[in-house]
Structure 1
Amino acid sequence: MKAVNWRRNMTKSKFETGLWTRRQALKTMGIAGAGLAASSLAAPALRAQGNKPIRFLNCETGKDTLAFFSKVAKEYQEKTGVEVVIDSVPLGESFTKITNGIRSGTPYDVANVGFIGHVLLLAEQEQIVPLNELTDEYQWGNNILFPIDNKVYWYPFDYNLALIYYRKDLYETNGLSLPNTWDAFVQNSEALVQGRQKGALFPIGSNGATNWMSFAFLWAEGVKLFDDQWNVILDNDEMKPRVAAYLDFMTKLYGTMPPGALQASYSDVLSNLVGGAVAHGAYAGRVLEAAERDNPTLAENLGVMPYMDMSGKQKAVSHGYDGWVVLKTDNTGPAMDFMRWLTTDRMVDFLHTAPVHFQPTRLDIYEDQRWRDNAMIQKYSGVVEQMRELVTDESVVLTSIDTQGPAPDVRPGKVFESFVMPEMLQNKILREMDSAEAVDQAAAKMREVIK
């Protein structure tokens, strides 16, 4: 099965209240607050005419990225006389900041977003402008532009794919081959349980880490949550046996994991991988950057692989992404000028602030010698090339809970935030529920939460 190509199949959809973010599951009050903000968007008040500052909301808070934006703001002002004011907040706070700015009459001109549902909502409310003049001249990786009627409303700057990391040195020492099936993956994980070192870590708790890291095995197996009419099909005759087999597989894999998989978060998986406590785990490119800093010997022994299906026929990765939008304000023209400069003259410099983690979405960048000359990209060129292949090979399934269904929509977001899928894992692994029953309960809950 091939991944759904949103670039071809994207259709505009109406959004309900109760919006969500990909990286941070909101608590009940947070969901209601986000929905209220979304439903109350109003046209921004015009600001005073003149040479106004460009207000830029940044959500990439790494030390080098913050330093980059501080530098380019000064550089752009020296170059053009236009001030760029950078506000930086964690990504989970971005949509609230964006909507509060609109409602108060002091909107941002450019903003960082991490969920395509928010982009589509802002476009539907006519709060952002198309960016085709910035995107049309380039070729892009798979499933990343999400156009509405051929109009692209965001500038995606990186993929955040969840890949499986593994220890190349341990594979060599133990004579292991890369697994192509679930059984082989379990066998390798079991073989690498040695004392305090565990075989794998894939979260099973009710959190975003589990939603992102633990279900691409299902996508490789061809499992879908919805049909083209938004009917839940997790428990139909085709999907149910596959999902039940996945639960059996994860139960075996759980036996190779360290204590605490129920509570494991993003940072727990990262620290276990970088610390050498587990032989397999999922994450994006940040692993190599953290290992290079904290455990360089181990960094050189980390490899990556996609998720695999039950029978060895299909590969998948868990989707992730980040990008920028330009809001419709009385400062949109200058904001577009700044974005044109940022995404051409300074794009490579921006990506170099997290060189392996910021996986390019634009395919030309992979051939840009200035980008390739970065020391980290050169050192991990093999991994970088694998990552490029995963977003250019149409046979690789590229999806996630939040991008399931025939088009981006609030319904998979509700499934994401209700933690239906992690609870299905817990019912099987911790409560020892029959696999078929666990699937039935998950499907029933999905139907309830998307009403």
Structure 2
Amino acid sequence: MSIYIPGHKRMAAGLSGMTRRNFLGTAAVVGASVAAPAVRAQSGVTLRFLNQETSVASQAALKKACDEYESKFGVRIIVDSTPISGTTQKAMAAINAGQSYDIYTAGFIAGILQFVQAGVLLPVTDLVKKYDWGKGAAWEYEGENWYYPFDYNLVVNYYRKDLYAQKGLKVPETSGDFLKNCEALTVNNSGNVDVGGCVIPLASDSATNWASFGNMFAEGTQLFDKDWNVVLDQGENLDRATRFLDLYGELYKTMPPGMNAVGYAQLMSLFTTGKAAHTLYSGRLVESLEATNPALADQYGIFASPSSSGQKALSYAFDGFCVFKTKQSEEAVKFLQWFADEHYVDWLLSAWMNNHPSRLDIYENERWKSHPMIKKHWETMMQMKSFIEGDGVTITAIDTSGPSIDMRACNVFNANVMPEMLQQKVLGNTSSADCVAAAAQRIRSLI
């Protein structure tokens, strides 16, 4: 998921005005063409690539790879770069027009699952199985891998080391410690918060779904049981979710004004401009610090979200490459394999910290390790690596909740059930238990 340009939104993928019947009908036509895939030729083959990584560096890295591929194999690749907010809809529209893309970059499970269920995606399991991956990265659906991962978007907590030193604070081990640190670092002016102790969004959008529930997952809160029954408001889960909402209610008092509209851009800018002592974001924030406030790039640290008892968790998203079923599917897979072998490292380095590698061999790659910014922020990178290895930190998300990857969890994400639970708590002055009960009932109605 590229969270790059202010205003980007991680998309709640939908059919965008198309009927599912029309989409599936077109999908069947597209899928039928796979029976006779194209063979490699020195000319006459053109692949269409829909790319959602819109930074200048990422587009340049992709163009370099495509130009080299054409010079070596005579296969032309036309790249269409578009913000992530419209990627799935644009891919669907192309399919319905009978002009499907051959490859696209994906960053949201719901969009991928819709394409899988429509029968228009080609599994890339053989390519994925060649490597070892960090936990949660190479997820499967119906026994296949439907995308080739290239990064995580782990939601880590950023904090100001200099402010911690001034106040004599320590990295929090529990959510209670975190709350005390936020309270200690909140600057009030005439009764209003001038500098927030933290920023944890609550708007009804993908930023909140992605970023705001690390402490809830650290408590061990489950939305579903192994049979897809909704258990958010049952037994220990009710207690865990209630503890999380009680915590959020207190943290909210330390947050700067305007939280109703805080999204991706504000999560970064409030921290980089010194308006918040803590924030939540992926590695992209480090890139933003180096670009906009390099002095602060030496004064940050990260930690995983803690529970009341000290368990740790991180919410996350991901990015990867998917292959559509087209007449050029075989060529598309060959290109992807070549790209993974020859240009994968260059691609990762085009967003050197945001493209936090999910493929574990990359951490031993000398060219990757020698990048000056990775060398400078090596401690942060190794800390993030430690999160994706072993069992010390739970990595999960709203749209990966449940016993397996499934659209039911994606629908909870798309419907903004959990962000609206936060709103009910702090804007509606509702008890935590009632907020949990209402959210659970909404989930039941969805699935």
The reply to whether TM is greater than 0.5 is yes
User: Does the aligned pair in 2 maintain the 1:220–1:316 contact within 8 Å?
Assistant: yes
Q: State the 1:430 CA deviation.
A: 1.5
SS in 2 for 1:262: helix
1:408 has 2:393 as partner: no
Amino acid at match of 2:425: K
Q: State the 1:92 CA deviation.
A: 2.4
Alpha-carbon distance between aligned partners in 1 of 2:436 and 2:150, rounded to the nearest angstrom: 36
1:166 has 2:151 as partner: no
SS in 1 for 2:29: coil
Q: State the 1:192 CA deviation.
A: 0.7
In structure 2, stretches of 5+ residues that fail to align are 1-8, 189-193
1:280 has 2:278 as partner: yes
User: Does the aligned pair in 2 maintain the 1:212–1:318 contact within 8 Å?
Assistant: yes
In structure 2, do the counterparts of structure 1 residues 35 and 303 end up closer, same or farther at CA, with 3 Å as the change threshold? farther
In structure 1, stretches of 5+ residues that fail to align are 1-21
2:108 alignment partner in structure 1: 115
SS in 1 for 2:75: coil
User: Does the aligned pair in 2 maintain the 1:318–1:400 contact within 8 Å?
Assistant: yes
Mapping of 1:32-43 within 5 angstroms?
Answer: 33=18, 35=20, 38-40=23-25, 41-43=27-29
Alpha-carbon distance between aligned partners in 1 of 2:342 and 2:22, rounded to the nearest angstrom: 35
CA deviations 1:212-255 (Å, max 9, x no partner) are 11111110000011111111111111111111111111111111
Alpha-carbon distance between aligned partners in 2 of 1:135 and 1:435, rounded to the nearest angstrom: 42
* Bigger shift: residues 32-41 or 412-421: 32-41
User: Does the aligned pair in 2 maintain the 1:190–1:199 contact within 8 Å?
Assistant: yes
User: Does the aligned pair in 2 maintain the 1:201–1:281 contact within 8 Å?
Assistant: yes
Amino acid at match of 2:18: G
Alpha-carbon distance between aligned partners in 1 of 2:52 and 2:302, rounded to the nearest angstrom: 27
User: Does the aligned pair in 2 maintain the 1:317–1:396 contact within 8 Å?
Assistant: yes
Amino acid at match of 1:24: M
User: Does the aligned pair in 1 maintain the 2:202–2:260 contact within 8 Å?
Assistant: yes
Q: State the 1:37 CA deviation.
A: 6.0
User: How many residue pairs get matched?
Assistant: 427
In structure 2, do the counterparts of structure 1 residues 38 and 270 end up closer, same or farther at CA, with 3 Å as the change threshold? farther
Which of the residues 181, 188, 201 maps onto 1:188?
181
User: Does the aligned pair in 1 maintain the 2:23–2:96 contact within 8 Å?
Assistant: no
Q: Give the percent of matched residue pairs that are identical in Structure 1 and Structure 2.
A: 38
Alpha-carbon distance between aligned partners in 1 of 2:126 and 2:404, rounded to the nearest angstrom: 24
In structure 2, do the counterparts of structure 1 residues 400 and 38 end up closer, same or farther at CA, with 3 Å as the change threshold? farther
Which of the residues 244, 261, 264 maps onto 2:262?
264
Alpha-carbon distance between aligned partners in 2 of 1:323 and 1:34, rounded to the nearest angstrom: 27
SS in 1 for 2:259: coil
Alpha-carbon distance between aligned partners in 2 of 1:388 and 1:267, rounded to the nearest angstrom: 25
Alpha-carbon distance between aligned partners in 2 of 1:254 and 1:147, rounded to the nearest angstrom: 37
Alpha-carbon distance between aligned partners in 2 of 1:167 and 1:263, rounded to the nearest angstrom: 23
1:295 has 2:282 as partner: no
Q: State the 1:32 CA deviation.
A: 5.2
2:376 alignment partner in structure 1: 379
1:23 has 2:40 as partner: no
1:179 has 2:172 as partner: yes
Alpha-carbon distance between aligned partners in 1 of 2:350 and 2:443, rounded to the nearest angstrom: 39
Amino acid at match of 1:446: I
Q: State the 1:150 CA deviation.
A: 4.2
What's the RMSD between the two structures over aligned residues?
2.1
Q: State the 1:327 CA deviation.
A: 1.8
In structure 2, do the counterparts of structure 1 residues 280 and 34 end up closer, same or farther at CA, with 3 Å as the change threshold? farther
SS in 2 for 1:334: helix
Mapping of 1:194-343 within 5 angstroms?
Answer: 194=187, 196-312=194-310, 314-343=311-340
1:59 has 2:57 as partner: no
In structure 2, do the counterparts of structure 1 residues 386 and 83 end up closer, same or farther at CA, with 3 Å as the change threshold? same
* Bigger shift: residues 388-397 or 290-299: 388-397
Which of the residues 61, 86, 91 maps onto 1:93?
86
Alpha-carbon distance between aligned partners in 2 of 1:239 and 1:352, rounded to the nearest angstrom: 41
User: Does the aligned pair in 2 maintain the 1:223–1:239 contact within 8 Å?
Assistant: yes
Q: State the 1:379 CA deviation.
A: 0.6
User: Does the aligned pair in 2 maintain the 1:37–1:100 contact within 8 Å?
Assistant: no
1:428 alignment partner in structure 2: 425
User: Does the aligned pair in 1 maintain the 2:149–2:318 contact within 8 Å?
Assistant: yes
1:72 alignment partner in structure 2: 65
User: Does the aligned pair in 2 maintain the 1:42–1:103 contact within 8 Å?
Assistant: no
Q: State the 1:38 CA deviation.
A: 4.5
Q: State the 1:336 CA deviation.
A: 1.8
CA deviations 1:286-343 (Å, max 9, x no partner) are 100011010000111111100011111x110002101111122221222222111111
CA deviations 1:375-416 (Å, max 9, x no partner) are 111010000001111111223111111111111112112211
2:77 alignment partner in structure 1: 84
User: Does the aligned pair in 2 maintain the 1:37–1:99 contact within 8 Å?
Assistant: no
CA deviations 1:73-122 (Å, max 9, x no partner) are 22221222211110111122222222222232222111111123333343
2:437 alignment partner in structure 1: 440
